[in-house]
Amino acid sequence: MRSKPIIQSLILGSALMGIAHWQLSSFGHQPAQASAAVETIQDPLIMDGLNHLNKHTDAIHLPNGDSLSGTDLAQFLIDSHIPVIWGSDEICGGGSCSLMYCSSDGDCSYEDGQPGIDPIYINPSIKGQSIGMIDRLASELAHEAFHRMRYFGNAKISQLEEYWAFYIGAQIARDSWLKFDNINTLDPDQLQRWFYLNGMQGYLSLPPYPGSEIDADTHIQISQAEEPLQ
């Protein structure tokens, strides 16, 4: 039996890397106009964002030696027939997200057990953005598409997965305010510090790694000189 939905992302050693077993070998698409192939995206502005994402052919390198491109992410959304619609304050608290459902054994998915594929919801404030709107829309589509791939398996969303989703989105936008230099994501302290310093303290409530638990007795150590970026 699945629980009530958990809102996923808001616009998050060798054994660990073994978790990343998403098969990316089928990727390597050549960009083409996506609109002719899409039946599940009806909004013309979201369609423009998807086409913009589809034109990003540069490889984005992931853990475990994998890589994918914006074209791969766009084609994943198309091939998976995932609806993409505008969100709302009631559904995603004003951000972009998918609704996640977790069973008592910790297995999580984006399906509520009802007929049809559950949608991705996109931050509606993007529609009112005068500068960089399409870049931001493509970036958030990339972020959410990566989550729906379940690259790190079927566990609850972790800080590690959110970090890589933000990284991918930043490579698409290419002008992100987020900084990714000198972060060892296999060190949980560095991973948590990254969210803190980028002003995303809400993500500290997530487990650091897929299948791990939050240790209530462990607190991130932030020096007084380290303040969140504004």
- Is the pLDDT at 127 greater than 80? The verdict is yes
Give me the pLDDT at residue 78, please: 94
pLDDT band with cut points at 50, 70 and 90 for residue 225: very low
Give me the pLDDT at residue 38, please: 67
The residue with greater pLDDT, 135 or 215, is 135
165-209 residue pLDDT tens: 999 999 999 877 898 988 999 999 999 999 999 999 999 999 999
Give me the pLDDT at residue 28, please: 59
Quote the CA–CA distance of 213 and 84 in Å, as a whole number: 31
Structure tokens that stand for 138 in this block: 């493509």
Name the residue among 227, 8, 223, 230 with its Cα closest to residue 108: 8
- Is the pLDDT at 7 greater than 60? The verdict is no
The residue with greater pLDDT, 157 or 19, is 157
Give me the pLDDT at residue 29, please: 58
The residue with greater pLDDT, 10 or 38, is 38
- Is the pLDDT at 21 greater than 70? The verdict is no
Give me the pLDDT at residue 27, please: 55
DSSP labels, 7-76? E------HHHHTT-----TT--PPP--SGGG-SS---HHHHHHHHHHHT--S-EE-GGG-EE-HHHHHHH
The residue with greater pLDDT, 28 or 193, is 193
Give me the pLDDT at residue 106, please: 86
The residue with greater pLDDT, 14 or 39, is 39
- Calculate what percentage of the chain has a pLDDT beyond 90: 66
- Is the pLDDT at 63 greater than 90? The verdict is no
- Is the pLDDT at 96 greater than 80? The verdict is yes
The residue with greater pLDDT, 221 or 79, is 79
pLDDT band with cut points at 50, 70 and 90 for residue 224: very low
Would you tell me the crossing angle of helices 70-79 and 44-54 to the nearest 10 degrees?
130
- Is the pLDDT at 108 greater than 70? The verdict is yes
For residues 47, 38, 140, 33, the Cα torsion angle rounded to the nearest 10 degrees is -60
69-93 residue pLDDT tens: 999 999 999 999 999 999 999 998 8
3-state helix, strand, coil in the chain (%, to 5): 40, 10, 55
Q: Residue 171: what are its φ and ψ, rounded to 5°?
A: -70, -30
DSSP labels, 106-129? S-EES--SSSSPPPEEE-GGGGG-
